Amino acid sequence: MFSRILITGGAGFIGSHLSDELLARGYKVRVIDSLLPQVHGASQQRPEYLCDDVELIVGDVRDEELMAKALDGVDAVFHLAAAVGVGQSMYQIANYSDANCLGTATLVELLAKRSVAKLVVASSMSVYGEGLYRSSSGEIHQGVERKLDQLKRREWEVCGQDGERLQPIPTPESKTPSVASVYALSKYYQERLCLATGPAYGIPTIALRFFNVYGARQALSNPYTGVMAIFSSRILNDRAPLVNEDGQQHRDFIYVKDVALACRLALESEDSSGCVFNVGTGTCCTIEKLARDLARYLDHEDLEPEITGRYRIGDIRHCFADISRARGILGFRPRYSLEAGLTEMLDWLAEQTAEDLAHAASHELMKRGLSG
């Protein structure tokens, strides 16, 4: 049993739900969060959704002195603080590298001096690049990727060397990572740094690779965050969701409360030290279907998704999780189907106003030649 748990980035979307999950189990929760304006708005106020029982320290994980205070009396750490936009990371390269890599390095250097009983680091499905594929003969393909020329020809699917279209299959943790963005590289760095240094200092350490997380409290006006938030903000502004490529990309959408559950199970598990776990549902949905479902749930069936035929460099075609390892070792069973998750988040969504910045964000990528 742990007494006080620190969540870095705990005022954000996933961290705040994790706080609720931990408080409900009787843990004391402390959060350190810089309240980034892109996520929390210019006022950088303590978010209303953050439970009053959470002790919030406002500051940056790279601030060594403050981090030392944040770690005082703490016996477990969830490291969630990160800059999170895949597209944005491709031009704010120094900022993403600094926040995510130096932030993690600062944390583990302090942990080397004052040990904790558990470290859980938030990693990402983005470390895989493309998911795992199989050809019609049953051969497994990993390390496949789409070249820029192919995207320019609007040929979206992943093919083998003989030109055969490959079928996506669930991606297990054993798939070799293939990072396609600065964000993905920084998440892989965070994960590896924690797994390499934690055990060296006797700290049981676990990395969780979150798939596409959705739910209440996602920063809807942040155009660099997940596709669910971006589509929601379009629809709430009476605009059609903008769907890249042909909309047939597959992703694994996991409800945020299930992610919080997986985090707690990782904290409490006794025989998972040094492990990496996928945190997804093990099912998948196309981006077009998601856009349609969201519009329907928000009473906007009239807003037919706009299939743009555009691509973004660094985007992958298909990736969804194989969650056998988390199921077997952590006893993780996602409780929410996509329908159940959307239904539960609907009340919150319907009350939101959001600034639709999707066009501005895509313009930023276009002018740098990062999409087409």
Ligand X SMILES: NC(=O)c1ccc[n+]([C@@H]2O[C@H](COP(=O)([O-])OP(=O)(O)OC[C@H]3O[C@@H](n4cnc5c(N)ncnc54)[C@H](O)[C@@H]3O)[C@@H](O)[C@H]2O)c1
Q: Decide whether 102 or 329 has the Cβ nearer to ligand X.
A: 102
In the complex, residue closest to ligand X by CB: 12
- Looking at the chain, how many residues does it have? 372
**334 lies in the site for ligand X, by CB under 6 A:** no
Q: How many other β-carbons are positioned within 10 Å of the β-carbon of residue 299?
A: 11
Q: Is 27 a catalytic residue?
A: no
Candidate list 5, 6, 7, 15; residue touching ligand X; CB under 6 A:
15
Residue 244 Cβ vs ligand X, minimum distance, rounded to whole Å: 17
Distances (CA, A) of 280 to 73, 157, 245, 248, 338: 32, 23, 23, 19, 11
Site string for ligand X, 16-55 (x = CB under 6 A): ----------------xxxxx--xx---------------
Q: Interface residues for ligand X in 167-226 (CB under 6 A)?
A: 187, 210, 212-213, 219, 226
Within the chain, what is the greatest distance between any pair of CA atoms? 59
Pick between residue 166 and residue 228 the one whose CB is nearest to ligand X. Answer: 228
Rule CB under 6 A: choose which of 70, 82, 260, 345 binds ligand X: 82
Instruction: Out of 5, 6, 7, 9, point to the residue binding ligand X (CB under 6 A).
Output: 9
- Binding string to ligand X for residues 95 to 134, with x set by CB under 6 A, is what? ----x---x------------------x-x----------
Residue 89, φ and ψ in degrees, nearest 5: -65, -20
Tell me: does residue 83 bind ligand X (CB under 6 A). yes
Per CB under 6 A, does 262 bind ligand X? no
Check 128, 183, 214, 297 and give the catalytic one.
183
Q: Which residues are part of the catalytic machinery?
A: 183
Contact positions toward ligand X, by CB under 6 A? 9, 11-15, 32-36, 39-40, 60-62, 80-84, 99, 103, 122, 124, 187, 210, 212-213, 219, 226
